[in-house]
Amino acid sequence: MEQSLKQLSMPLKMVKFFLLKTLVFEDVDGKKESKNDPELGKYWASLGDGIFVNDAFGTAHRAHASNVGISANVEKAVAGFLLENEIAYIKRSC
């Protein structure tokens, strides 16, 4: 899987985003997503351009490589619009 992601991401340098979905099931070179393997987070972060947008409210609480690992290896990590909307909804409900 690792090589195929690298190959897929190369021509995408000219587009605005690269979406990786359902990474919780991924195991690259024996490194587990759910264990927040530092090398796996670093690898996934290397596929992008230094910006990580988390727009998954349902997984934002997980200390997985696809959240914490990527965030630790990019220049900017931000909440996306859907995540911001969920937080705003919760604040209004309280």
| Residue linked to tokens 């490194």 | 31
Residue burial 69-83, b: 16+ Cβ < 10 Å; e: rest: bbbebbeebeeeeeb
- Whether residue 80 contacts residue 53, with contact meaning beta carbons closer than 8 Å, is answered with yes
Question: Which amino acid makes up residue 60?
Answer: A
Q: What is the pLDDT of residue 11?
A: 59
Q: What is the pLDDT of residue 2?
A: 52
Residues of the chain with pLDDT under 50: 1
